[in-house]
Chain A
Amino acid sequence: MNMQIFQALLDGVLMGGVYALAALGLSLIFGVMKITNFAHGAMMTVGMYTVYVVSTGLGISPYISLIFAAVTLFVLGYVIQHFLIDKISQAPTHNQLLLTLGIAYILENGLLAVFTPNYKTLEVDDFEGSIKLGQITLSPEKLVAFAVVFVVTAVIYLMLYRTRTGKAIRACSQNREGAQLMGIVIKKTNAIAFGIGALCTGIAGALLTPILSIYPTLGETFQLKCFVIAILGGMGNLWGALISGLIVGVVESVTGYVAGGSWSDLTVYAAFILILLVKPSGLFGRSNRREH
C-alpha cells in the first residue's frame, strides 16, 4: 500500500479516537435521557479552555490539566442536568433541545466574553519532535490522545458494566419505570449520566488542545461531527459510537489526503446521508422499536 495513504489512515484512526470519545458522551446522554445535547460542542470548548487556563496558569503539562477538565465538566454536566434539564423533563422534546441549545450559547458567549475571540495556542513541551517509523510520522500528541481515549473508554465501560451506579444508568436507559420500581432515583442517575457524558466531551476537548489552536466557537464543528458519529453508531449505542468515530476519522483523513482538505467534510456528510438512506437507524442502530 502507498505509504502516504497508510499515514493518512493512521492519522485518521488517532483523531477518530478523540471524536469517538466525545460522541460516546453524546450517545450516552441520549441513551439515558432521550435528549440530544446541543451543548456538547460548547462543553468540549469549556474543556479546552480549562486545560489552557490550568496549563498556562500553573505551568503544568496539559496532560495533568486534563484531570481538572474532566472534573470541571463532570460537575458542569451534573449541575446542568440536575438544575435545568430535569426541570423540563416532562416538556416536549423540542423545548428540551432549545434548552440545551441555549446552554450552548451561554457557554460560548461566556468564553467569548472572558477570553475574546482570538485564537489561543498552548505551547506543549512534553515531547520533542515527532516519532518516525520508516516513512510514517506520528505526532506524539495524537498518540497520547489515543491512549488516553482508550483508558477513559475502558474505565467508563467498567463503570457501566461492573458498578451498581453504572448498572443503574443502563437500567434507566432500558426501562425508566422498571428502574423506578426497583428504587433507583431517576433524577440522580440522570445527573450522573449527564456528568459522565460531559466528562467524555471535556476530555476529548482537553486532548485536542495541544493539537489545535482554540477559540470560543470551535466546539460547533465538533458538535455536528459528534452528532453524525452518534447517529451512525445508532443513538444510545456506545460501541457503535466508538466504531463510527474511528470510521469518520479515517474517512476524513484519507479524503483529505486523496482529494484535499476541503473535501473531507463534504465526503463525511455525503457518506452520512447515503448511509442513513440505506439504514435509517445508523450503521449499528437497533430498529426504532422503543419500550415504554
Chain B
Amino acid sequence: MLQIKNLFVGYGKVTIIQDLSMKIDSGEVVALIGANGTGKTTLVRAISKLNTVSGGTITFDGENITDLSPDKIVEKGIIQVPEGRKLFAQMSVRENLEMGAFTKRARVNEKENLEYVYSVFPELKAMEKQACGNLSGGQQQMVAIGRSIMAEPKLLILDEPSIGLSPITTQHMFEAIRTINKKGISILITEQNVQDVLKMANRAYVMQQGKIVLSGKAQEISKSEELKKIYLGM
C-alpha cells in the first residue's frame, strides 16, 4: 500500500533520514519505534509532506506521491494525527471534527463518519460545543483521532498518540485504534511506549539515528535481544 524507497529527509544541510526503506501493506498495523530524536517524527512529517523530501520515492497504491502537496496527500487518503495533536484550540469539538471532512472525498460521508466517531468516542458527543483548548489531554487526543477519521483515511498515521496521557487513557486510546483498524484502515504508529504498541502491531520497524536498524513481526521484535540493546544500550 505505502512503499518508501531509499528516502532522504533533512533540514537545510542536516540530513535526518538516511536511505530509509519501508512498506505498509493494506490492513496492517505497523509500529515505528525508537528513542527520542531518532527521526520518527521527521519521517512521518515527510510522508504527509510537511517536510521536504531530498531523495528517494514514496508510492501509495502504486502511485508516486513523493512530490505531491500536503492537501493532495490528504486527498489520497493518508491522514496523520500529528505529535502534539495540532487541534484548532478555539474551535469547538464539533467544528474540529467538521474540519476533518474538509476534502471533497471526505465530504460525501461526513454524516456517517461523524456518527462513527461518536460511537468510538461517546464522550465527545457530550462536549460537542466546548472549545478544544479547554479539554484534557486525553480528550484532545480523542478529538485529534476523531478528526482524522472524519478525513476518511486509507492509511492513518499516529505520531506518539500516548504522549502525556495516563496509562488508563493510553489503553483506551489503543483500544480505539484497534477498532479503527478493524474497519480496514491501515495504521502506522510511532510510539515510545514500546511493549504496548508491539502487542497491537502486526509488524514493527526500529529506528536509530535516521535509519531502520531492525524490522520484522511485532511479536518477534518484542522478544529480540537487539531491541533491548538498542533501547537500553546493553
Chain A: residues with CB nearer than 8 A to chain B? Answer: 164, 167-168, 170-171, 174-175, 177-185, 291
Contact = CB atoms under 8 A, between A and B. Distances in A.
Given A164-B102, A168-B102, A177-B82, A182 B147 contact: yes
Contact of B80 (A168, A171, A181, A291): A181
Contact of B71 (A171, A174, A175, A184): A184
A178 B102 contact: no
Contact of A171 (B74, B75, B99, B151): B99
Interface string B74-104: 1100011010011111110001001110110
Contact of A182 (B50, B69, B74, B90): B74
B91 A177 contact: no
A180 B71 contact: yes
B104 to A, nearest CB: 9
B27 interface: no
Contact of B91 (A171, A183, A184, A291): A171
A179 B99 CA distance: 8
Given A164-B102, A171-B99, A181 B74 contact: yes
A174 B50 contact: no
Contact of A181 (B75, B82, B90, B91): B82
Contacts of A179: 88, 99
B86 A183 contact: no
A185 B71 CA distance: 6
In this complex, the interface size class of chain B, counting residues with CB under 8 Å from chain A, is: 20 to 34
B56 interface: no
B161 to A, nearest CB: 14
Contacts of A185: 69, 71
A77 to B, nearest CB: 22
Contacts of B90: 170, 174
Contact of A183 (B50, B74, B85): B74
A173 to B, nearest CB: 9
Contacts of B89: 174-175, 291
A178 B89 CA distance: 10
Given A175-B89, A177-B82, A167 B98 contact: yes
Nearest to B107: A164
Give me the 5 closest cross-chain CB pairs, A-B, nearest first. Answer: A178-B86, A183-B74, A183-B103, A174-B88, A180-B70
Nearest to A168: B102
A175 B87 contact: yes
A167 B99 contact: yes
Contacts of A291: 86, 89
Interface string B100-120: 101100100000000000000
A182 B87 contact: no
A178 B87 contact: yes
A184 B99 contact: yes
Interface in B30-62: 48, 50
Contacts of A167: 91, 95, 98-99
- Of A179, A182, A185, A291, most buried by chain B (CB within 10 Å of CB) is A182
A181 B87 contact: no
A170 to B, nearest CB: 6
B103 A175 contact: no
Given A178-B86, A183-B75, 9 more contacts: A167-B99, A171-B99, A174-B91, A177-B50, A178-B88, A181-B50, A185-B69, A291-B86, A291-B89
Contact of A170 (B79, B88, B151): B88
Given A170-B91, A171-B91, A174-B91, A181 B86 contact: yes
Contacts of A168: 99, 102
A183 B88 contact: no
A225 to B, nearest CB: 27
A2 B73 CA distance: 65
Contacts of A174: 88-91
8 contacts: A171-B88, A171-B99, A177-B86, A178-B85, A180-B48, A181-B48, A181-B74, A183-B106
A109 B189 CA distance: 56
Nearest to A181: B80
- Of B70, B82, B90, B147, most buried by chain A (CB within 10 Å of CB) is B70
Contacts of B102: 164, 168, 182-184
A183 B71 contact: yes
A175 B75 contact: no
